[in-house]
Chain A
Amino acid sequence: MILPELFQDWFVCQGWQPHPHQLALLAAEGDSLLIAPTGGGKTLAGFLPSLVELAPVAGPDGYLENGERAGVGLHTLYVSPLKALTADIARNLARPVAELGLDLRIEDRTGDTGPAQRRRQRIDPPQILLTTPESLALMLSYPEAPAIFGSLRRVVLDELHALAESKRGDQLMLGLARLRALAPDLRVTGLSATVEDPQALAGFMAGARPVEIVEADSGPDPDIAILPTARPAPWAGGGGHYAIPEVLAAVKAARTTIIFINTRAQAELFFQALWAANDENLPIGLHHGSLAREQRQRVEAAMAAGELRAVVATGSLDLGIDWGAVDLVIQIGAPKNVKRLVQRIGRANHRYNAPSVARIVPANRFEQIECVAALQAVKARDLDGAPRGPGPLDVLCQHILLTACAGPFDADALFAEVGTAGPYHGLARADFDACLEFAATGGYALRAYDRWQRLMLQGGLWRLRDPRAARLLRMNVGTIVEAEMLKVRLRGRGGAPLGEVEEGFAASLVPGDTFLIGGRVVRMDALREMVVEVTPDPGRQPRIAVYSGVKLAMSTQLAHRVLALIGDPARHDDLPPDTRDWLARQAEVSRLPEPGLLLSESFPHAGLWHFALYGFAGRNALQTLGLLITREMEAAGLGPLGFLATDYALLVWSLDQVADPAPLLDGARLRAGLGDWLGDNAVMKRTFRNVATIAGLIQRNMPGLRKSGRQATFSSDILYDTLRRYDPGHLLLRVTAEEAGRGLVDFGRIEEMLDRSPRRDHRILTRVSPLAAPLLLELGRVPIRGEGRERLARIEAEALMAEAGLQDFA
């Protein structure tokens, strides 16, 4: 397709030239994937082919003889990970569509769309529909899906790089496979930020189908550096508060700044510290996923209106609205992952062909090295990223159930269709059948009951046994499983919502406790009907809310770069002087870790023996290693008392010395230990909860469920324990083990660490080594489980009894 005159004129009127990648997408004959930095006219590029195709019927010449428009039905479906983005796109498209004189209905369909609008869209869909993966899955579960989507010609998938990182992407790809079956002429366009492996993303999007990859000119190199500070980074911690004066100065010098910080709790604290020093009252906002939606929207609106000079944000602003005015990005704390750093840098200056400006603030000494390594990777355009695993089976289970909601299906046909989805390309029939079995009967080994039947086979087709089940299944669409969160509100009738905290944190609060939320210190008054009621209490020292979110582990590639940098003194000139001195001292007292070598140290400190292992395997893997090693130490009678894992190192303290770490680091023994230990672990239970929820074993939403607390919900841990005991081969346990192995447990990286380090060196020292010293200051110590938790509960109960004057009763 070439650009018609109408469109050429429009570009001329704007004083623009179509970007080469916009024309390339227009010319693409089949599926296409556009990789472009933000600000490259990506969205318009995605929609241009649709508008050009629709122009003959929607333009001035598109009337029939009777004066009406020819009905085209739904022509283009746009899917974005963010609801807010769909509304934004609708607004942004409205202008060119009006200027081109096109008569088009462009509507969004998300969780916020009202029932009347939804109904109308099912009967009379617009030509362009903007939606999210969850709403698409829902629409595909309706019997009308073939009628709605049969006319579809184009699908635009926005922020595909982000979708591909989660199960939302897997669900979307299954939906896309369905769409291709309903509308065989469909052409798909993916839009993505810079990624390390465009070919892999293309495979994710299209499976075995050919994809034309269009890489836009990535523009000039970013202007990116470590923010110079008067004070050096502290030894430990992750707050970055030492750099507050310089951050404020940078904010003042720029027009609009986004300050990214890795966790919600850190964002709260940094925001507070920033305001404490903000003598000029620069308008600075806060944005993270635990804040109430109203609050976030207020900040977004103020940002869009140019009323804010800066916003402190977490990953909640990684995607989304294009704020052309942002001219500086500051990253507090090491980025942990080069790709994410590059994508965040891209948030600054959305003007095409202007360099992005970004500054990094390492939070501590180790991070100083990590930031230098990350900057070198950015310069070398060496992005990281782990290859995606195969499509998860819990998502497939949900897809099978939702497919049954739309109507009876043939198992062979569905298997063939699922295989066309990128993530499920190569899916084994046995796995598909296991998922179908789970969807149909729960998949239990001990299955003597005909009542355990959600799907039944009738005339060769699978269908819902009870059509009423469809409602429940539709209510539970989606793959986003949040931790149990409780709402936080100001006390009093209609008190303003402030946000959410984890249930576990809320349960640990008693009236009078203070904590930080939305940048203010509040006092807990009561926990009433699953809402935490608070009053503002400025000036008190707050406890820190434990917001959800596992800390992101440093990527494998970045870890290798860090290790290479530390291990090569010739390259230490790239580091700040204080860091250089620190490493030099380590080389004198002990030795430096280096690629190919696994360094460990034993030293006495504070009356205990400490064992430090410099594994550079990421936080999750080293945490798992900590649990496994302390188990072995317990068995060996070394009396381990606790451990601490960072991205770089593991520190274990114990009564006795680790003289020879070799048996502790034996791959086969670790793997054997993993099997025993894993089953009973909280990490596994958390993973199981997600898997069971997505697969439809646990239903989050029930019709007519009142929040009386009287509902018969019980912990998913019980289901997990029951399955482990009575049905250890169950599909969901297998899925849980696979997922934990890749994610939180990350055993693969322990093995990677052992494989890449053929040489071992264990140093026994008389005192703390320079490299180990910062570890002693880190937070996040893990006590060895067992009696510990029981003891804590006992102490708390005794304190409560004593306070109530009832100690004699206990």
Chain B
Amino acid sequence: MSGHGFDYHGLRLVARGSGVLWWPEGGLLVVADLHLGKSERLARRGGPLLPPYEGLATLERLAAEVDALAPQVIVSLGDAFDDMAAVPALDEAVLARLQALARARDWIWLAGNHDPAVPQGLPGRLVGQLALGRAVLCHEPCDTIPEPQICGHFHPVVRLAGERRRAFLLGARRLILPAFGAYTGGLDCDDPALAAVVPRGLAIACGSRPLVLPVGAPRPSAAIRRRR
């Protein structure tokens, strides 16, 4: 899995094709919106009975990145759990995986709107926000927090070659991470809710090789596209 390197307010960052953000200098890995326990919450509330395997699927993908990068710190950028009741209901295999990932490194939970409190019985510590160089890590973009910000929450996706791909959204003062959880939907980058947060900038589409494209600018004419 390769990555796209870029500068963000003095930080040299890498947007990994898997959807995690990597800061090599600090050995710090940021992952957003794991939404563990999602199928459990839906089932509990009388919704569809989705395959109860998304926790394993999500953490196996995360483990592959941890193996590849050997981070000293892992930051969960909020909404690691689909709701607080999902924490005690976590499958043992998922719990064991999570503990293995947190072993021998610092694990920091940022609170999200789905998981505002300290996850009981899990490794790591909970904080509201976290400074990274000049930037602030927090779950949701917020006017009361100093910019530049690095956030999750929106699950951005872009349409590329007829496919929807999860994507990083890189604006002048906000960097939005894609959702990492297996069962997370996506919000189009040109959706008004996202356009309000990052009006113009670049999207970095996830995939075995990350691809960069502009967002917010008027899309090039059809004539250009047909030339290829």
List the interface of chain A (C-beta within 8 A of B): 441-442, 444, 446-449, 451-454, 465-466, 468-469, 472, 504, 507-508, 510-513, 527, 696-699, 708-715, 718-719, 722-723, 725-727, 730, 789-790, 792-797, 799-801, 803-804, 806, 809-810
Within 8 A of A (CB), among B49-63: 49-54, 56-57
> Which single residue of chain B is at the shortest CB-CB distance from A443?
B49
Contact A451 B222 (CB under 8 A): no
Q: How many chain B residues have a CB neighbour from A under 8 Å?
A: 53
* A723 to B225 alpha-carbon distance, docked (Å): 38
Contact B209 A794 (CB under 8 A): yes
**Contacts of A800 on B, CB cut-off 8 Å?**
213-214, 219-220
Known: A790-B208, A806-B202. A451 touches B48 (CB 8 A): no
**Contacts of B172 on A, CB cut-off 8 Å?**
none
**Contacts of B205 on A, CB cut-off 8 Å?**
793, 797
Pick the most buried of B54, B89, B214: most chain A CB atoms within 10 A of its CB.
B214
Beyond A504-B162, A709-B188, A799-B227, list 12 extra A-B contacts (CB 8 Å).
A507-B164, A698-B48, A709-B187, A709-B191, A722-B53, A723-B53, A725-B57, A793-B161, A793-B205, A799-B220, A800-B220, A801-B212
* A442 to B6 alpha-carbon distance, docked (Å): 44
Contact A719 B163 (CB under 8 A): no
Contact A442 B188 (CB under 8 A): no
Asked whether any CB of chain A lies closer than 8 Å to the CB of B106, the reply is no
Contact A712 B209 (CB under 8 A): no
Asked whether any CB of chain A lies closer than 8 Å to the CB of B217, the reply is yes
Contact A449 B193 (CB under 8 A): no
Contact B219 A446 (CB under 8 A): no
With both chains docked as a complex, state the minimum distance between the C-beta of A534 and any C-beta of chain B, in angstroms. 13
**Contacts of A794 on B, CB cut-off 8 Å?**
209, 211
Contact of B207 among A442, A451, A697, A793 (CB under 8 A): A793
Contact A797 B213 (CB under 8 A): yes
With both chains docked as a complex, state the minimum distance between the C-beta of B59 and any C-beta of chain A, in angstroms. 12
Contact A451 B40 (CB under 8 A): yes
* A725 to B56 alpha-carbon distance, docked (Å): 10
**Contacts of B66 on A, CB cut-off 8 Å?**
none
| A-B pairs, 10 with minimum CB distance | A442-B49, A803-B220, A726-B53, A797-B211, A466-B46, A712-B185, A804-B214, A793-B161, A714-B185, A810-B212
* A286 to B78 alpha-carbon distance, docked (Å): 53
**Contacts of A711 on B, CB cut-off 8 Å?**
185
**Contacts of B191 on A, CB cut-off 8 Å?**
708-710
With both chains docked as a complex, state the minimum distance between the C-beta of A39 and any C-beta of chain B, in angstroms. 45
With both chains docked as a complex, state the minimum distance between the C-beta of A729 and any C-beta of chain B, in angstroms. 12
* A710 to B159 alpha-carbon distance, docked (Å): 16
Contact A722 B207 (CB under 8 A): no
**Contacts of B50 on A, CB cut-off 8 Å?**
442, 697, 719
**Contacts of B208 on A, CB cut-off 8 Å?**
790
With both chains docked as a complex, state the minimum distance between the C-beta of B52 and any C-beta of chain A, in angstroms. 6
Asked whether any CB of chain A lies closer than 8 Å to the CB of B116, the reply is no
Known: A449-B43, A513-B222, A709-B191. A796 touches B51 (CB 8 A): no
Contact A510 B57 (CB under 8 A): no
**Contacts of A448 on B, CB cut-off 8 Å?**
91
**Contacts of A527 on B, CB cut-off 8 Å?**
190
